[in-house]
């Protein structure tokens, strides 16, 4: 019984680490995309005339 608990806890821990890494990578990618998009908007702002 203890071996089953130990195995399932180690599997859950490994899955949590993998999910954390994926969330970290997606968050960094989204942040970089937001910065690039904002920089593009600021760059084209001076070309607009009213």
* Domain of 27, in residue numbers: 1-42
What is the chain's alpha carbon radius of gyration, rounded to the nearest angstrom? 22
Indicate the number of domains in the chain.
1
Per-residue confidence (pLDDT) for residue 1, from 0 to 100: 72
Per-residue confidence (pLDDT) for residue 33, from 0 to 100: 98
Q: Is 22 inside a domain boundary?
A: yes
Q: Is 49 inside a domain boundary?
A: no
Q: pTM above the 0.75 mark?
A: no
Closest by alpha carbon to 35, among 45, 24, 43?
43
Per-residue confidence (pLDDT) for residue 2, from 0 to 100: 75
Per-residue confidence (pLDDT) for residue 50, from 0 to 100: 74
Q: Is 50 inside a domain boundary?
A: no
User: How far, in Å, CA of 14 to CA of 33, rounded?
Assistant: 29
Q: Is 47 inside a domain boundary?
A: no
Q: How far is CA 41 from CA 31, 32, 48, in A?
A: 15, 14, 11
Q: Which residues of the chain have pLDDT under 50?
A: none
């Amino acid at each position: 019984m203890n071996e089953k608990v130990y195995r399932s806890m180690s599997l859950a821990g490994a899955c949590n680490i993998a999910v954390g890494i994926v969330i970290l990578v997606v968050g960094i990618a989204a942040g970089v995309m937001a910065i690039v998009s904002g920089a593009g908007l600021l760059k084209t702002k001076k070309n607009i005339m009213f």
